[in-house]
A and B are shown apart, each in its own frame.
Chain A
Amino acid sequence: MHPILARGRLSLYLGLWASAALFLGVLVALQTRAPWAEVALVTLPLAFVYAFVCMSSWYVAHAMPLAATGAVRILVTAATASAIACAMWLAAARAWIAWLVAHGLFAFPGQGLYTLLAAFGLLFYLLALAVSYLFAVLGHVRAAERRGLEAQVLAREAELRMLRAQIDPHFLFNSLHSISALTTADPPAARRMCVLLAELLRESLALGGERGITLERELSLVARFLAIERVRYGARLDSEIVVGDGAAACIVPPLLLLPIVENAVTHGIAHMLSGGEVRVRAERRGERLVIAVVNPCDPDRPRRAGGGVGLANVRARLAALHGGDAGISAGEENGEWRVELALPASRSNSGMLEAGSW
């Protein structure tokens, strides 16, 4: 819809045009020296009609936005549009004045009046067009601001969703319970645990906003997680992280490995009477980065219904970033659960963006 027709703006617009009509009346009065009543009879209806004609300039500005159109084209369009609008208005003016003259309401002063009206018409149409462009630009700026804010909100929501999906709240509750136990039994250990937990949370919050991080950073997060779980599980949980040559600097999506290692502990080690070791191995094989997470598992463990959400998340994220170029496999073998990821080894974020763009 035309913006001027919305929410009482029409009266404001017509109010502005009343001053334009006064201006036109003064010009006509000066030129024709006709009495004021006659001048008003000629100019007021004409100005009123032209106010509506000039509203068409908004459509011109809309069809030919400043940013997407060349200067010459805009000038030609502006000239053509104002010429057409002015010509139409002049035709109406001729008819109106002829009618007034025929009825003896106005003494025709000569062709000079039409020249004056044509100049007024052209000038005011161009003015209206300029104002339309100004409002269009302001509208664009406001829309861009809103889009920017919306994008920020969406990104923050995605970050929170990822954290919700990836850091299990029960991990937090159990860790807090461990701290509660340590506060009297071993205060320095309680403090260490607080710091570990805070570091894990801070780091994972910071990582949520990033597209890609080095494997080294992801693994330090994993190591912190395992250190916290080690406090909970005691001697039942061992862990080993081995990184091959050239693998540490490779770029991976943030929080890719953490949910897999979380599963290895909660669905693997937690079900073993005497516990076991979580082993993380990362190596670079040519242009591929291969990461394996292995944990012992109890063959009689209860199968979880509706499980495997974490794995499905990881698979979806890899597919979104690398298409068919990355893969994840998981399975049980000789009493061990093994998750293996393979993705293109890139050393910069741009490599990942390229890979993700097709």
Chain B
Amino acid sequence: MRIVIVDDEPLARAVVREFLGAHPGVEVVAECGNGFEAVKAVTELSPDLVFLDVQMPKLSGFEVLELIGRDVPVVFTTAYDKYALRAFEVHAVDYLLKPFSEDRFAEALSRARERLLVRTPQGADPAMEGLAEDVRPKGPVERVLIRDGAQVHVIPVDRIDYVEAQDDYVCFASDGRQYLKDQTLASVEGQLDPGRFVRIHRSYLLNIERIARVELYAKDSRVAILRDGRRLPVSRAGYGRLQRLL
């Protein structure tokens, strides 16, 4: 059993490592001090189990799970009991409250072993579909997380210019760069603040602060010209939504 330990406190990682020492057939393949390292390690090593702290710099444990969750079982470790329900909702294997005993730890480990035995092939677990939406707290998000191989991009929402639907993906345009994410435009729209982002077209969600002007393009069809000169199509319904907002 290959395991990754994620915690920003070295001593907390040491507890997990020490407790694992008593269990045969277990190998710690990586120890990570933050969420970025965790996403990288999980992507490159595809471990069988991740022990994941919740409160960490840059990326919280839940954000890490959002980025890696479809691939690997997770046991949360935290001093906060308030996340327990959320951990249950995102199908965490177990939830260890610090400080935890060796017995309680062994229980979590055997639970993880059981989970491994009945595990469905990667990416095909229907229970994990739509996980990204479940994990998020209610209310508009303040930043968007995008996993690009082993790398993670964190884009604050006010730096997003627009979001474009592309087949099964969406593409976030920010600071002249484009980031692909495996999500639908409708679910992105549900996550962003409706007072700042408007669906101007079936395939486009636009940050209203980026609009320079809107021009008539043809009968019943308009085009939005952004501050950087880029032109995006505006449907009739989209123009109505835009007018209501401005």
Answer yes or no: are A and B bound together in one complex.
Answer: yes
A185, A270, A303: which contacts B57 (Cβ < 8 A)? A270
A181, A234, A236: which contacts B18 (Cβ < 8 A)? A181
Tell whether A182 pairs with B99 under 8 Å between CB atoms, given A170-B79, A271-B57, A298-B58.
Answer: no
Contact B57 A174 (CB under 8 A): no
Report the minimal beta-carbon distance from B12 to chain A, rounded to whole angstroms.
Answer: 6
Say yes or no: is A211 at the interface (Cβ < 8 Å to chain B). no
Mark interface residues in A243-283 (1 if CB within 8 Å of B CB, else 0).
00000000000000000000000000011110000000000
A178, A236, A270, A303: which contacts B12 (Cβ < 8 A)? A178
Q: List 7 A-B contacts (CB under 8 A).
A: A178-B11, A181-B15, A234-B10, A270-B57, A273-B57, A298-B58, A300-B143
- In the bound complex, CA of A176 to CA of B11 (Å): 11
Say yes or no: is A184 at the interface (Cβ < 8 Å to chain B). yes
- CB closest residue in chain B, given A232: B9
Q: Which residues of A contact B154 (CB under 8 A)?
A: 300
Say yes or no: is B166 at the interface (Cβ < 8 Å to chain A). no
Count contacts between A and B, CB distance < 8 Å: 64
Please, how many residues of chain B have a CB less than 8 angstroms from a CB on the other chain? 24
Report the minimal beta-carbon distance from A268 to chain B, rounded to whole angstroms.
Answer: 10
Tell whether A185 pairs with B99 under 8 Å between CB atoms, given A300-B156, A302-B143.
Answer: no
Mark interface residues in B1-43 (1 if CB within 8 Å of A CB, else 0).
0000000111110110010000000000000001010000000
Q: Which residues of B contact A232 (CB under 8 A)?
A: 9, 11
- CB closest residue in chain B, given A193: B11
Determine the interface band of chain A, counting residues with CB < 8 A from chain B. 20 to 34
Say yes or no: is A17 at the interface (Cβ < 8 Å to chain B). no
- In the bound complex, CA of A303 to CA of B156 (Å): 11
Contact B79 A181 (CB under 8 A): no
- What is the interface of chain B, defined by CB distance below 8 A to chain A? 8-12, 14-15, 18, 34, 36, 55, 57-58, 60, 79-80, 97-100, 142-143, 154, 156
Say yes or no: is A106 at the interface (Cβ < 8 Å to chain B). no
Contact A181 B58 (CB under 8 A): no
Contact B60 A302 (CB under 8 A): yes
- In the bound complex, CA of A231 to CA of B58 (Å): 21
- What is the interface of chain A, defined by CB distance below 8 A to chain B? 170, 173-174, 176-182, 184-185, 231-234, 236, 270-273, 298, 300, 302-303
Contact A180 B15 (CB under 8 A): yes
- In the bound complex, CA of A173 to CA of B97 (Å): 9
B14, B80, B100, B156: which contacts A185 (Cβ < 8 A)? B14
Contact B11 A231 (CB under 8 A): yes
Q: A233-B9, A271-B58 are in contact. List 14 more A-B contacts (CB 8 A).
A: A174-B9, A178-B12, A180-B15, A180-B99, A181-B11, A181-B12, A181-B15, A181-B18, A182-B11, A234-B10, A273-B36, A273-B58, A298-B58, A300-B154
- In the bound complex, CA of A236 to CA of B58 (Å): 14
- In the bound complex, CA of A302 to CA of B60 (Å): 9
- CB closest residue in chain A, given B102: A180
Report the minimal beta-carbon distance from A197 to chain B, rounded to whole angstroms.
Answer: 13
Q: Which residues of B contact A180 (CB under 8 A)?
A: 15, 99
Q: Which residues of B contact A173 (CB under 8 A)?
A: 79, 97-99
Q: Which residues of B contact A184 (CB under 8 A)?
A: 18
The 9 A-B pairs at the shortest CB distance, nearest first, are namely: A173-B79, A181-B11, A177-B98, A177-B99, A181-B15, A180-B99, A170-B79, A178-B11, A181-B14
Report the minimal beta-carbon distance from B22 to chain A, rounded to whole angstroms.
Answer: 11
- In the bound complex, CA of A180 to CA of B11 (Å): 9
Contact B58 A178 (CB under 8 A): no
- CB closest residue in chain B, given A234: B10
- In the bound complex, CA of A174 to CA of B80 (Å): 9
- In the bound complex, CA of A286 to CA of B34 (Å): 46
Report the minimal beta-carbon distance from A309 to chain B, rounded to whole angstroms.
Answer: 15
Report the minimal beta-carbon distance from B27 to chain A, rounded to whole angstroms.
Answer: 20
Report the minimal beta-carbon distance from B37 to chain A, rounded to whole angstroms.
Answer: 9
Report the minimal beta-carbon distance from A120 to chain B, rounded to whole angstroms.
Answer: 77
Tell whether A273 pairs with B9 under 8 Å between CB atoms, given A181-B15, A181-B18, A302-B60.
Answer: no
Report the minimal beta-carbon distance from A97 to chain B, rounded to whole angstroms.
Answer: 85
